[in-house]
Chains A and B, each alone.
Chain A
């Protein structure tokens, strides 16, 4: 009994309070979406509020169970749990139930569960276990490789379902690696690649190549001590580029501007490498390799985009980037979502009062688009308060993570922070048309048992680790 009392005293009640606020607020919004004035349709259309209430109950029981579990359990079982979740993901691909074109559900009786949601918890546990090993830091090549492997396996399986949204969530764990020592340059490189990916979809290859050349010149210029060498590089490039474009302009070369530029770049780099080697300049080869690697990357983006992404995902990205218009499908939904949120105004229409919500103009309004209801009925003030509570919880979790003595607990804490933050930011950004629609739920708010339970479990494992931080040094 003493131990139990201590636990309660040591628990982070601020985080638990914020969690409860979110759960209650989420349920109110689900109730509102499914609320109908005419009582006849209340029972027939949906029992989602009742279902969600049951899920909340189960989640709270799970939270309690976690609190009475020995906290060493989580690090000891991290690998077996991880392996188990991979097996379940594989099972889903084979025997899952298909909903909206993706096989991501496992049916247990009448209840459907999405293993991809739970795999997030086990992946963070496994990553924390690995990185908390003796003298393991995320800055050696071997450790980075294994960390990436732990992070990448579940999304590869999830991609096969296919469930694009749940896949990219794992990318957020880069934050954990960064905190544990991943080179900032490597992070920038990854982000730069993502940027080039988008740029090569929006702009022509010519513009992207030009951009790449300029960026490599810039990096080279910043890094080289002698500014004269950068000058030489620019002069050689222009000497190759200007005549080529001129010839093309005058119709002497019948080729695409991109090809002309590519030839000019090849000429210029070859000349410059010869020149640089003779003068023993440093960093030139690295810069050229960097440049060519990205040219290759631009080509592969094309391939990924047209051969790996599904048609609806491609369309979403295209519409998001303004390359395509489709009001009936995707753009329409996002537009309706913007209208619903915008119509909330400063103070909102009030609980149960949103007509956009009532008329079901926005799809998936209990699940992925639940924020529309928040925006519409609670207005700017309500949305602001909601964002404040959510970000408050995340910042509180960072503080909790930082006060851990054990590395395992800290890394796990950052994993929770990364996943929660990514879900929050992407989900809200997509309803605000800041980001393409990828179907991921808003933690603690969206309708759905799997996501509620997995986020609750994820959070309470952290809070349990925190509550016993003084007891063990794992």
Chain B
């Protein structure tokens, strides 16, 4: 036999020793020490969630926009239910006996051991009455929550709304539990992590029947809820309110940006809705109503609607032409009521001819920019049309077109700037040239941009060649602003020296006879603006206007879209000028009151 056979006794002894220790421990816990038996009766726990209030939202001047209001949910603890006067409860709650029965049956099937929500968001009156009578209804409890309340009922699209979490979100983010609220759109969504705060927990002792017996370990492990962080927006609430008022009878949008910072001053998508409609119990019902509205008030046109930019896009093509050297500021092109070449014709309106660059911008001459675009695309510098086109596209993309700008509001659309491959597919490679795609010269054709991208274009021209990513949150309590946004200057590919010619042209368009937006001129402030007409296959064209002011040291850049407004000068330009006047002077001059009146009383929402 082997020499180590004796070790079996040691191993056996070791195993028996451990077994004896375990048996002693069992004896101690189960027989000797009775505390565990007693604590089993009453030493169980329940955790209650303490919901934090969401962060408040202020405008750029410290004006409160969004705050919170208390709300109470009625919960049922199935274990604690005892016979009660169901008729009385029904009359307080305003429900019928069948609803009550179904509700109780339902909470029992969810989880018998916990308090489950029965009726959410009781009205303050119902809560008050029931609270007094609560002792009569064992097993019924309240839990306090907060709901949003809008001090200023503006900016529905940018603020977004708060909704209850669904199962997919709970799966994706372990912070959320059933019944939590979260920001579902707008800044409520993009800044959810700051606004939501931190839930607190209270540990409660309960007995086997689920009755509360006090705090677990004297509340040693309870945590307080931490309220959400307050947020200051870049929005000027007065300007926002005025913009909404002006847009009340139109479909379209207004985006105003402070060019030097990229801060968004006003952000309107019309038709809009009252944000208070989407709070609490009424949300679901109102949401459906809004969803069914044919004017699509839930649709955020500022960043989701993609229109052809129309004549405002001529500024970009002009700048590219200047930078590429295919035209100079003094280059003139003739216009015979349009641009006519082999196989192409593009009409223009009546104006003097020939025009130089600044005059062409002032008059929005189609022929001038068709010539310019042809020179860009047929530039000998590039081996093929496709190469020249790719270069042109590179320029366009540097202006922030064709991609989301990166604004801090969810669901931004990129717009559309066709690639050469797009035309290759459409016309076959090598079978298209400048004239094939000449519509791009005047912002028609395949190009699509969002109102935000157009406002950003105005800011780029105001800044003479760069932009800062537009954003809507100025700062967050306790967060370093530098960490919040990228404040880098994004320079476009056009040299800054060329911008003054475009600015001059936009100045003349508003302030010199012959300009396309002469009616929107201000007495003391030089507005630089460019009208546009976005082709609309479904009806009257859309009225578009981009502008910035004052010409020297610009404070505001703006883009206004009014659907079915036909000419840029007819609706978009006057609205933009009123907003610029309001923002820079705080008032509307008496001699311009009639414009305000006209804009407020006209109505284009029935044109659809």
Contacts and interface: CB of A to CB of B under 8 A. Distances in A.
Do A and B share a complex? yes
Interface of A: 38, 40-41, 175, 178-181, 327-328, 332, 336, 338-346, 355-356, 359-361, 375, 379-380, 383-384, 387, 391, 394-395, 398, 402, 414, 417, 421, 425, 428-429, 432, 434
Contact of B113 (A343, A360, A417): A360
Given A380-B27, A384-B26, A394-B15, A179 B4 contact: yes
A178 B36 contact: no
A414 B10 CA distance: 13
16 contacts: A40-B109, A179-B11, A181-B2, A181-B4, A327-B216, A327-B221, A342-B40, A343-B39, A343-B40, A343-B41, A355-B208, A359-B208, A375-B29, A380-B31, A391-B19, A395-B16
B430 interface: no
Given A339-B36, A340-B40, A345-B31, A432 B15 contact: no
A328 B40 contact: no
A324 to B, nearest CB: 12
B347 interface: no
Contact of B26 (A179, A336, A341): A341
Nearest to B7: A179
B8 A432 contact: no
A379 B201 contact: no
B208 A341 contact: no
Given A328-B203, A328-B221, A379 B4 contact: no
A180 B4 contact: yes
A434 B26 CA distance: 11
A44 B491 CA distance: 62
Contacts of B18: 421, 425
A175 B30 contact: no
Interface stretch (B43-51, B58-66, B308-316, B532-540): B43-51
A342 B208 contact: no
A236 to B, nearest CB: 38
B208 to A, nearest CB: 5
Given A180-B4, A355-B40, A384-B23, A341 B221 contact: no
A429 B25 CA distance: 9
Given A179-B11, A425-B18, A328 B201 contact: yes
Most chain A Cβ neighbours within 10 Å, of B12, B22, B37: B22
A339 B205 CA distance: 14
B15 A429 contact: no
Contacts of A402: 5, 8
Nearest to B8: A402
Q: Which label, helix, strand, loop or mixed, suits the secondary structure of the A interface?
A: helix
A261 to B, nearest CB: 35
Contacts of B203: 327-328
Interface in B76-103: none
Contacts of A414: 11
B16 A375 contact: no
Contact of B31 (A178, A328, A339, A346): A346
B344 interface: no
Contacts of A341: 26, 29-30, 36
A400 B23 CA distance: 25
A343 B31 contact: no
Contacts of A344: 30
Contacts of A361: 44-45
B8 to A, nearest CB: 6
B15 A328 contact: no
Contacts of A180: 4
Nearest to B14: A175
A346 B18 CA distance: 21
A320 B21 CA distance: 18
B294 interface: no
Interface in B109-131: 109, 112-113
Contacts of B8: 179, 398, 402
